[in-house]
C-alpha cells in the first residue's frame, strides 16, 4: 500500500505561527514650506518665488520689500502695524501691498495698489476663501490680482 502523505501537525503549526516582522519604520516627512516660521517663509521662499514669477511675466525692474509698518490708508491707526510685502516697478509708478494682518500666511490677508507714487485708496481682502494656503497659491493669487488691474498683461 502506498504511504499517505499526511502533514505533520507540529510542522504546520510552526509554519502558520512564523514570527511576525516588525512594522517598517515610517520615514519622517519633510516639513512643508508653509509650516516654517512666518518671516522665514516670506523672506526665503515667497518673495524669491514672486520675483521669479514677475520675471517670467517680463517684469525685471520690480523691487520687493518685506517690512512691518502701519497701513498706508487714510484713517488707519499708524500705531497698528502689520507685515507687508511691497512691490514697486516702473520707477515707482506702480505699487502693490500685500498685508499679513495676523503674521501668519493662513491668517487674514489684504491687498492694495496705487499708481504714480500715490497712496492706496482702499484695502481689499485677499485669499479669504482658501482653506489651505501654499506658496504656489500665494504667488498665483498675487499675479492674478495684479492682472485684474491689467498691470501684467494686456487684453
| Beta-sheet strands, E only, within the chain | 63-70, 81-89, 94-100, 109-115, 124-125
Q: What is the pLDDT of residue 47?
A: 95
Band (pLDDT 50/70/90 cuts) for residue 117 is confident
Indicate the domain borders of the chain.
35-148
Question: For all residues of the chain together, what is the average pLDDT?
Answer: 82
Residue 121 has pLDDT above 90, yes or no: no
Q: What is the pLDDT of residue 21?
A: 65
Q: How far is CA 96 from each of CA 3, 7, 93, 118, rounded to the nearest angstrom? A: 91, 81, 10, 11
pLDDT tens string 6-65: 655 555 555 556 566 666 666 667 778 788 999 999 999 999 999 999 999 888 889 999
Query: Minimal CA–CA distance to 105: which of 64, 44, 22?
Result: 44
Residue 155 has pLDDT above 50, yes or no: no
Q: Give the burial class of 46: count Cβ atoms within 10 A of its Cβ; 0-12 exposed, 13-18 middle, 19 or more buried.
A: buried
Q: Which of 25-29, 68-72, 96-100 has the highest mean pLDDT?
A: 96-100
Distance separating the N- and C-terminal Cα atoms of the chain: 96
Residue 4 has pLDDT above 70, yes or no: no
More confident residue, 67 or 118: 67
Torsion of CA 108, 51, 149, 38, to 10 degrees: 0
Q: What is the pLDDT of residue 130?
A: 81
Residue 94 has pLDDT above 80, yes or no: yes
More confident residue, 91 or 37: 37
Q: Give the burial class of 15: count Cβ atoms within 10 A of its Cβ; 0-12 exposed, 13-18 middle, 19 or more buried.
A: exposed
Amino acid at each position: 500500500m502506498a504511504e499517505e502523505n499526511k502533514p505533520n501537525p507540529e510542522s504546520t503549526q510552526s509554519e502558520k505561527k512564523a514570527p511576525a516582522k516588525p512594522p517598517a519604520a515610517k520615514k519622517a516627512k519633510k516639513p512643508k514650506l508653509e509650516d516654517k516660521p512666518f518671516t522665514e517663509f516670506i523672506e526665503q521662499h515667497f518673495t524669491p518665488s514672486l520675483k521669479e514669477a514677475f520675471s517670467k511675466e517680463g517684469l525685471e525692474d520690480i523691487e520687493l520689500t518685506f517690512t512691518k509698518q502701519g497701513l498706508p490708508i487714510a484713517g488707519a491707526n499708524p500705531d497698528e502695524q502689520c507685515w507687508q510685502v511691497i512691490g514697486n516697478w516702473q520707477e515707482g509708478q506702480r505699487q502693490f501691498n500685500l498685508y499679513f494682518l495676523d503674521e501668519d500666511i493662513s491668517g487674514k490677508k489684504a491687498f492694495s495698489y496705487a499708481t504714480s507714487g500715490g497712496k492706496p485708496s482702499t484695502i481689499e481682502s485677499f485669499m479669504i476663501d482658501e482653506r489651505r494656503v501654499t506658496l504656489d497659491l500665494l504667488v498665483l493669487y498675487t499675479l492674478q490680482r495684479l492682472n485684474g488691474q491689467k498691470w501684467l498683461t494686456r487684453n
